């Protein structure tokens, strides 16, 4: 699923905490947002493997959440919400598309890496690919309550996420062709091999997953 969806879901997960503990509202919401964002920082360094941990984030959340309930400080709430956001992100990606350049073709068997069992989890494709129309519908559905409940900077973040989601959905199917032109027409001829090796495999011509 696309990054705006994950960020919005992270915020939505923190919203009940913000209501229940208003003195920690900003901490909870910011931590939820960061938790939804952090796994996708591995976009170009082993995407959905380096920072995606569906099992371990979930296990840590199961420990951190009760601690935050019993000892509700800024630190414990922040830790619980970051872990919950990251766990939810990692699990949600299993229900999306695979890692191929054109995920709507459904040719990849890889969704998210399960470090606990040392294997890739297959994509369920409930949401066919990141930026699919149903992905946008999910983003908008989650954003609605957030726009109503939040104020100031966080409301602006929600609005910006929706705008990015709409634009990304509109251009999503054009991006692979743009990437191929850029890589085949420029990068393959100009950058050193050691940097080329850092490109995700899906961008390399004739790569088969």
Residue 21 belongs to a domain:
yes
The total domain count for the chain is 1
In this structure, is the dihedral angle defined by the CA atoms of residues 29, 31, 32 and 36, taken in order, positive or negative?
positive
Residue 151 belongs to a domain:
yes
Does the pLDDT of residue 209 top 60, yes or no?
no
Does the pLDDT of residue 61 top 60, yes or no?
yes
Distance CA 139, CA 133 (A): 10
Token pair in block for residue 136: 């946008």
Distance CA 32, CA 162 (A): 17
Distance CA 38, CA 130 (A): 17
Question: What is the percentage of the chain residues whose pLDDT exceeds 70?
Answer: 89
Average pLDDT of the segment spanning 26-35: 98
Kind plus residue range of the DSSP H or E element containing 121: strand 119-121
Q: What average pLDDT does the chain have?
A: 92
Residue 168 belongs to a domain:
yes
Closest CA to 52 of 80, 91, 79, 95: 91
pLDDT in tens, 67-88: 999 999 999 999 999 999 999 9
Partners of 121 in beta bridges: 112
Domain range enclosing 44: 3-175
């Amino acid at each position: 699923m696309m990054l705006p969806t994950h960020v919005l879901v992270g915020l939505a997960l923190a919203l009940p905490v913000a209501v229940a503990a208003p003195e920690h509202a900003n901490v909870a919401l910011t931590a939820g947002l960061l938790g939804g964002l952090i796994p996708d920082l591995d976009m170009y360094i082993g995407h959905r493997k380096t920072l995606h941990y569906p099992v371990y984030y979930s296990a840590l959340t199961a420990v951190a959440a009760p601690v935050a309930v019993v000892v509700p400080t800024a630190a414990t709430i922040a830790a619980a919400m970051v872990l919950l956001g990251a766990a939810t992100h990692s699990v949600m990606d299993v229900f999306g598309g695979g890692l191929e350049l054109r995920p709507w073709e459904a040719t990849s068997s890889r969704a998210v890496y399960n470090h606990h069992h040392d294997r890739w989890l297959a994509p369920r494709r409930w949401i066919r690919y990141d930026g699919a129309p149903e992905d946008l519908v999910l983003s908008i559905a989650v954003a609605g309550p957030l726009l109503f409940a939040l104020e100031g900077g966080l409301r602006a973040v929600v609005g910006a996420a929706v705008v990015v989601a709409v634009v990304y959905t509109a251009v999503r199917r054009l991006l692979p062709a743009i990437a191929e032109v850029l890589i085949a027409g420029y990068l393959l001829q100009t950058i050193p091999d050691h940097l080329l090796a850092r490109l995700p495999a899906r961008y390399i011509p004739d790569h088969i997953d």
